[in-house]
Structure 1
Amino acid sequence: MLRLCHVRFALFLIANLDRVRTECPLGWQHYNNSCYFFSSESLNWYLAQSACRGHDARLAEIETKDRQDYITDLAKRFNHYNYWIGGRDDIIESRWIWSSTDKLLTYTNWGPNEPNGGTGENCLSMYAPWTWQWYDMTCSASQQFICEKNFHNSEEIIG
């Protein structure tokens, strides 16, 4: 009986060898329906966004506490840097939107006295000393960034 199971399993593998599950790209981290990449390069917010687009991605958009907790946990493991994420208020001051959709932020994780609306502080960052709570920052500052792309949990036929 055991041998028959092995034969059936082997036939199943052979029949499905041309199908593979798509995964997040190498170096990206999977969470729910997204893949995340933590840069080691420091760029200003605009160049960071462009770098993400070069990978068919966007600056990360954190829309829930669960997602914030996951990203904070990864940030702790990778290093202790500040990171750009995809929010901005450069169109209307104090009206924070996600850059890829122009939708208002419905979840926030602002640090103490943030956003403080300082001169030219129109881009959203996660601040390491505050356990990656959010703060508004001058977009021209250089820091690392987090890219996000959609995770497609589908089968792809090869060959």
Structure 2
Amino acid sequence: MLSPRLFHKILGVALFLFPCCAEGKPAGNWLLPVFGHLVGDGRDEGFMPGMQFPPPFLSRSEDVIRQLEHRISRLEGVLRFKKMITESGGKIFATNGKKADFDTTMKKCKEVGGSIATPRNPGENDAILYFVKDANTYAYLGMKESLIPRKFQFLDGTELNYTNWHLNEPSGKGEEECVEMYTDGTWNDKKCNQNRLIVCQF
């Protein structure tokens, strides 16, 4: 059985990779048919606190959950097959293949329940590098320069416990506040207004 955390990660990835769903456009019946007998047939009166569900309802709920798990499992397989997601250390990384500046990248990732890709060890760095190599372009990472020039930190203000700087980097001396990943997996400090591949983590 999928854990609730993994369920939400996969759902976030799906919304990120298939923006039609997030923008309210019809996406076809790829997920909702399993609820067809519960919603829109005049029998659904909504949830009421303290409501006692009869055994047939609970049985139907279990069936719905099993069907959702099956669909999510298939969706995860398709995303892996199409090389749209990678995984490392319990995190799922995904790209929609689009480019944006740093602030837009953070916004796009947050909109779908994720955050900008932030490698905290070599395995996670490699998971992000997979997309960078595949697209043959650079990607922003979830870290910025602190108030001290050439000293970088995670976006939550904590110190970097893992780094993979390119030779002689960082070199911006306070003028390049963001971090990008090169196609060899090493990092470079860069101005935040350049367009780079969007890679999110969930």
Question: TM-score over 0.5 for the alignment?
Answer: yes
Q: Structure 1: which 5+ residue stretches go unaligned?
A: 1-15, 150-159
Q: Secondary structure at the match of 2:93?
A: strand
Structure 1 residue 98 and structure 2 residue 154: aligned?
yes
Q: Secondary structure at the match of 1:42?
A: strand
Q: Tell me the CA shift for residue 90 of structure 1.
A: 4.8
The match for 2:140 among 72, 79, 84 is: 84
Q: Tell me the CA shift for residue 108 of structure 1.
A: 0.3
Identity of aligned residues (%): 20
Q: How does 1:6-155 map to 2 (within 5 A)?
A: 17=63, 18-19=65-66, 20=69, 26=79, 27-76=84-133, 78-99=134-155, 101-118=156-173, 120-128=175-183, 131-149=184-202
- Read off the aligned partner of 2:201 and give its amino acid letter: E
Q: Distance in 1 between matches of 2:146 and 2:106?
A: 15
Give per-residue Cα distances to partners, 1:94-118, cap 9 Å, x unaligned.
331111x221111000001100024
Q: Distance in 2 between matches of 1:145 and 1:107?
A: 21
TM-score, with structure 1 as normaliser: 0.71
Q: Distance in 1 between matches of 2:115 and 2:140?
A: 11
Q: Distance in 2 between matches of 1:75 and 1:141?
A: 15
Q: Secondary structure at the match of 2:123?
A: helix
Q: Which moved more, 1:108-117 or 1:86-95?
A: 86-95
Structure with the higher strand share, 1 or 2? 1
Q: What is the alpha-carbon root mean square deviation over aligned residues?
A: 2.6
Q: Structure 2: which 5+ residue stretches go unaligned?
A: 1-61
Q: Secondary structure at the match of 1:84?
A: strand
CA contact (8 A) 1:89 1:95 kept: yes
Q: Distance in 2 between matches of 1:29 and 1:72?
A: 10
1:155 maps to which residue?
none
TM-score, with structure 2 as normaliser: 0.57
Q: Which moved more, 1:61-70 or 1:89-98?
A: 89-98
